[in-house]
């Protein structure tokens, strides 16, 4: 019997909408986690900036491009030192742990620390450090959370999403 080339496909597609491993984190929980992570990093990085004279140099308009770059690199190093262990273990920052969300690949699997740092966090930090353009790019990155899939630009770059759990 010959098949009809114009017939609709007869394949059954499984419904994945109720799959717990990929239940998306709420926008509010992501914001809460980011706020907690920000407070942690400010509590550590701000005293370092004061003790190294960053604010005095900034007030005197004496910050060179090299000095600014050094502080951006230092900030990323502090981020890795503070958040590296929980990210490597469970794909969660301390803030994400507290609010019960985690970073996952689209299939629900856990990304490696290298994927998280080099694809998810580093590109956004590098672009965010560019004067004027960086602030605009950071805003656009965050506003992408209002898409239906709740994935920011850094999620799209890394192939990740933030889920409950």
Cα 36 to Cα 86: distance, rounded to the nearest angstrom: 14
Question: Predicted confidence band at 97 (pLDDT cuts at 50, 70, 90)?
Answer: very high
Cα 39 to Cα 79: distance, rounded to the nearest angstrom: 12
The answer to whether 8 touches 146, Cβ cutoff 8 Å, is no
Cα 97 to Cα 94: distance, rounded to the nearest angstrom: 5
Instruction: Give pLDDT, residue 6.
Output: 78
Residue whose structure tokens are 């898409």: 147
Q: What is the DSSP letter of 121?
A: I
Q: What is the pLDDT of residues 136-158, one digit of tens each?
A: 999 999 999 999 999 999 999 99
């Amino acid at each position: 019997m010959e098949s009809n080339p114009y017939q609709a496909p007869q394949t059954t597609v499984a419904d994945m909408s109720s799959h717990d491993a990929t239940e998306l984190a709420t926008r509010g929980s992501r914001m809460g986690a980011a706020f907690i992570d920000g407070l942690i990093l400010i509590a550590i990085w701000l005293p370092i900036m004061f003790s190294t004279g960053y604010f005095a140099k900034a007030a005197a308009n004496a910050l060179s491009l090299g000095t600014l770059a050094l502080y951006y690199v230092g900030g990323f190093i502090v981020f890795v030192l503070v958040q590296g262990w929980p990210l490597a273990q469970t794909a969660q920052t301390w803030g994400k742990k507290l609010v019960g969300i985690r970073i996952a690949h689209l299939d629900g699997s856990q990304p490696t620390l290298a994927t998280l740092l080099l694809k998810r966090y580093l590109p956004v930090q590098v672009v965010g450090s560019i004067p004027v353009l960086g602030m605009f790019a950071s805003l656009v990155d965050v506003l992408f959370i209002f898409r239906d899939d709740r994935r920011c630009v850094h999620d799209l770059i890394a192939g990740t999403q933030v889920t409950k759990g």
